């Protein structure tokens, strides 16, 4: 998954007269987005209604990301603003609680209470089912830190998703199937913030998928830090892998599209590649990070594959599903990266031709092996390499989008457009497409002909009679 800008979750259900209100701000990756919805549901059981107005909130919950220094520091500046808000509220005699959840909570625990005295509750990604209880204790005057890895399965303790809530969130949904990471790439905090790899059991996943589809969801994106490392007991007594899970979910009537993210190249097994060849519902789009194109750097990163392994893997995937589009993650300026190493990354990008990508300057993270390595690279060198890499990736994305013009593609309509009569949908390749739509509605999957490209979206006409 990829860390994105902060997102505010949509408010749900009309607030009742006496209910408390929670404002949730989500940083980081898709899993945090998913977790925020589950925390919102857990709080709803305690009478909390989600609000989009921080001014109305009795509780502010920051669901945080620790992946790069900037992401983590944002949280502390936000906490500074919240401290002032809390003072004001208290002088008016109103309750105002502050909670920190997510990966910064897990990584820094008690330290947050020291650095930000206004914080009431710190709760990690594996313990957030205990949030209502933690708030109760905080209301009695304790400052609560809940970051032990819970022995119980949080999913068993969270309320099941309700139909009305699912509906309010739209026709696409995330579904976490796997959490944590045992890969220990030397730059990355995730194995420390999310713990070791755990797969949710098959029945729990199928049950959640059925609930989502019953409430109108047409597309599900399976989530995991290493989603393709998902393994669980199948009904046939065999150990199932992600490919098997996709075949099972593809059998659900009404579920029209499946995606998954993020995969590690080492866990792309034959069954998963076969699923790409066979399953019409599995969208032809794969996010497969490589991070660097240099074998020397890949080794130092502990990725445990070479650039060539990755390229050969992509060949096999493309042979199975020729129209598949690829995206990736890249890091520039990992310790010891030379100009030649960086050129290797550029060469891999030139060879693969990505439809989209995320790229970052290396950020040294305390506690990771990378932080102690020799040869840290100057910020301006990292930035210069990033700029060159991004220019190439942006041009590849533009090329990919331009190659779609004139094609007829399917579109899942997700939301209204800016102008009357317009709807916005997603193509199989995750492109946002604007269409003048008549006689169709959100949730429909329609055929459109791509007519042009804009800065952030494509434009299309409906194909009559399809
Ligand atoms: N396997 C996980 C990785 C999550 S982090 C997944 O893809 O879901 C997402 C991306 O952030 C990584 O692929 C990597 O490109 C980037 N990243 C992670 N740690 C970083 C660091 N210390 N500095 C810069 N970028 C980093
Ligand atoms: Fe981080 Fe590597 Fe695990 Fe991805 S695979 S979460 S980059 S340690
Ligand atoms: Fe960030 Fe944690 Fe996701 S560190 S990218 S929120 S797993």
Query: DSSP string of 233-293?
Result: E-TTSSEEEHHHHHHHHHTSTT--EEEEE---GGG--HHHHHHHHH-TTB-SEEE---B-S
Report whether 103 belongs to an annotated binding site.
Answer: yes
User: Span 458-466, mean pLDDT?
Assistant: 86
11 has a pLDDT exceeding 70: no
* Residue 35 CB less than 6 A away from ligand 3: no
User: Could you tell me which of 215, 120, 119, 221 has the C-alpha nearest to residue 168?
Assistant: 215
Distances (CA, A) of 3 to 50, 91, 160, 175, 349: 23, 37, 27, 17, 21
Distance (angstroms) between ligand 2 centre and the Cα of 226 equals 7
Distance (angstroms) between ligand 3 centre and the Cα of 28 equals 5
Distance (angstroms) between ligand 3 centre and the Cα of 197 equals 14
* Residue 188 CB less than 6 A away from ligand 2: yes
pLDDT confidence of 457, banded at 50, 70, 90?
very high
- The distance from CA 65 to its chain's CA centroid, rounded to whole angstroms, is 11
Atom of ligand 3 lying closest to residue 1 CA? 5
Chain region(s) in the chain for CATH 3.30.750.210: 170-282
- The distance from CA 301 to its chain's CA centroid, rounded to whole angstroms, is 22
Task: Kindly state the tokens that stand for 225.
Answer: 């830090």
Length of the chain: 466
Rounded-to-integer distance, Cα 264 and Cα 326, Å: 13
Which ligand lies nearest the alpha carbon of 191?
2
Rounded-to-integer distance, Cα 173 and Cα 423, Å: 18
Report whether 188 belongs to an annotated binding site.
Answer: yes
Q: Give the model's pLDDT for residue 465.
A: 64
Chain region(s) in the chain for CATH 2.40.50.140: 408-462
Chain region(s) in the chain for CATH 3.30.750.200: 284-404
227 has a pLDDT exceeding 70: yes
Average pLDDT, the chain: 94
Question: 208 and 159 in contact (C-beta within 8 Å)?
Answer: no
Contacting residues for 435 by C-beta, under 8 A, at least 6 apart: 411, 413, 417, 422, 423, 424, 425, 446, 448, 459, 460, 461, 462
Question: 206 and 255 in contact (C-beta within 8 Å)?
Answer: no
DSSP 370: G
3 has a pLDDT exceeding 80: no
CA torsion sign, 143 to 147 to 148 to 154? positive
Which ligand lies nearest the alpha carbon of 389?
1
369 burial type by CB count under 10 A (0-12 exposed, 13-18 middle, 19+ buried): middle
Which ligand lies nearest the alpha carbon of 72?
3
Long-range contacts of 274-278 (CB under 8 A, 24+ apart): 274/243, 274/320, 275/242, 275/243, 275/246, 275/247, 276/317, 276/320, 276/321, 276/324, 277/320, 277/321, 278/247
Residue 416 main-chain phi, psi, to 5 deg = -70, 150
Atom of ligand 1 lying closest to residue 291 CA? 15
Q: Could you read off the pLDDT of 15-24 as tens digits, one per residue?
A: 444 689 999 9
Question: 416 and 375 in contact (C-beta within 8 Å)?
Answer: no
Q: Could you read off the pLDDT of 297-315 as tens digits, one per residue?
A: 999 999 999 999 999 999 9
* Residue 264 CB less than 6 A away from ligand 2: yes
DSSP 10: P
* Residue 328 CB less than 6 A away from ligand 1: no
Distance (angstroms) between ligand 2 centre and the Cα of 190 equals 6
User: Span 399-421, mean pLDDT?
Assistant: 96
Is the bond leading into 387 cis (omega within 30 degrees of zero)? no
Instruction: Identify which of 28, 75, 195 to mutate to test ligand 3's pocket (most ligand atoms within 8 A of the CB).
Output: 28
Chain region(s) in the chain for CATH 3.40.50.12160: 5-146
14 has a pLDDT exceeding 50: no
The architecture of the domain spanning 284-404 is 2-Layer Sandwich (3.30)
**Bridging pattern class, strands 285-287 and 59-64:** unpaired
Report whether 404 belongs to an annotated binding site.
Answer: no
Question: 106 and 225 in contact (C-beta within 8 Å)?
Answer: no
Rounded-to-integer distance, Cα 450 and Cα 426, Å: 12
Tell me which residue has its CA closest to atom 19 in ligand 1.
188
Beta partners for 97? 59
Fold of 408-462: OB fold (Dihydrolipoamide Acetyltransferase, E2P) (2.40.50)
pTM tops 0.75: yes
* Residue 183 CB less than 6 A away from ligand 2: yes
Distance (angstroms) between ligand 3 centre and the Cα of 371 equals 18
Task: Kindly state the tokens that stand for 378.
Answer: 């100057």
74 has a pLDDT exceeding 70: yes
Residue 144 main-chain phi, psi, to 5 deg = -110, 135
Distance (angstroms) between ligand 1 centre and the Cα of 4 equals 11
Instruction: Identify which of 5, 181, 187 to mutate to test ligand 1's pocket (most ligand atoms within 8 A of the CB).
Output: 187
Atom of ligand 1 lying closest to residue 330 CA? 15
pLDDT confidence of 153, banded at 50, 70, 90?
confident
* Residue 67 CB less than 6 A away from ligand 3: yes
Rounded-to-integer distance, Cα 83 and Cα 77, Å: 10
12 has a pLDDT exceeding 90: no
290 burial type by CB count under 10 A (0-12 exposed, 13-18 middle, 19+ buried): buried
Tell me which residue has its CA closest to atom 3 in ligand 3.
29
User: Span 354-382, mean pLDDT?
Assistant: 97
Distance (angstroms) between ligand 3 centre and the Cα of 30 equals 8
- 5-146: which CATH number, 3.40.50.12160, 3.40.50.2020, 3.40.630.10, 3.40.50.2000? 3.40.50.12160
Task: Kindly state the tokens that stand for 449.
Answer: 């002909």
pLDDT confidence of 9, banded at 50, 70, 90?
low
Fold of 170-282: Transcription Regulator spoIIAA (3.30.750)
Tell me which residue has its CA closest to atom 6 in ligand 1.
1
Atom of ligand 1 lying closest to residue 264 CA? 1
């Amino acid at each position: 998954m990829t860390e994105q800008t902060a997102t505010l979750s949509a408010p749900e259900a009309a607030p009742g007269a006496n209910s408390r209100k929670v404002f949730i701000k989500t940083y980081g990756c898709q899993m945090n987005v998913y977790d925020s919805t589950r925390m919102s549901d857990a709080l709803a059981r305690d009478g909390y209604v989600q609000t989009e107005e921080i001014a109305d909130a009795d509780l502010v919950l920051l669901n945080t990301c620790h992946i790069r220094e900037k992401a983590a520091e944002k949280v502390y500046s936000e906490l500074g603003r919240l401290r002032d808000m809390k003072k004001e509220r208290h002088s008016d005699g109103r309750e105002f609680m502050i909670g920190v959840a997510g990966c910064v909570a897990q990584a820094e625990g008690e330290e947050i209470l020291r650095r930000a005295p206004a914080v009431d509750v710190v709760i990690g990604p594996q313990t957030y089912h205990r949030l209502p209880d933690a708030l109760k204790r905080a209301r009695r005057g304790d400052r609560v830190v809940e970051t032990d890895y819970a022995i119980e399965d949080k999913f068993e303790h969270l309320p099941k998703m309700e139909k009305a809530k699912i509906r309010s969130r739209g026709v696409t949904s995330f579904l976490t199937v796997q959490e944590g990471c045992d890969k220990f790439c030397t730059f990355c905090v995730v194995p420390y913030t999310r713990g070791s790899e755990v797969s949710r059991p098959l029945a729990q996943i199928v049950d959640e998928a059925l609930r989502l589809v019953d409430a109108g969801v047409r597309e599900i994106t399976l989530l995991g830090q290493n989603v393709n490392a998902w393994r669980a007991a199948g009904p046939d007594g065999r150990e199932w892998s992600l490919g098997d899970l996709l075949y099972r979910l593809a059998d659900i009537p009404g579920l029209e599209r499946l995606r998954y993210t993020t995969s590690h190249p080492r866990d792309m097994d034959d069954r998963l590649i076969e699923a790409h060849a066979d399953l019409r519902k599995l969208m032809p789009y794969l996010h497969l990070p490589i991070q660097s194109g240099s074998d020397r750097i890949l080794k130092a990163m502990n990725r445990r594959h070479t650039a060539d392994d990755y390229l050969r893997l992509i060949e096999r995937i493309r042979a199975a599903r020729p129209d598949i589009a690829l995206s990736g993650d890249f890091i520039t300026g990992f310790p010891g990266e030379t100009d030649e190493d960086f050129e290797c990354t550029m060469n891999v990008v030139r060879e693969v031709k990505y439809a989209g990508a995320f790229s970052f300057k290396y950020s040294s993270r305390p506690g990771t092996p990378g932080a102690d390595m020799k040869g840290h690279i100057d910020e301006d060198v990292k930035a210069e390499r990033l700029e060159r890499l991004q220019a190439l990736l942006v041009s590849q994305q533009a090329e990919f989008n331009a190659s779609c013009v004139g094609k007829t593609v399917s579109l899942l309509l997700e939301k209204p457009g800016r102008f009357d009569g317009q709807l916005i949908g997603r193509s199989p390749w995750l492109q946002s497409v604007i269409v003048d739509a008549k006689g169709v509605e959100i949730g429909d999957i329609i055929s459109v002909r791509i007519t042009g490209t804009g800065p952030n979206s494509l434009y299309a006409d409906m194909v009559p009679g399809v």
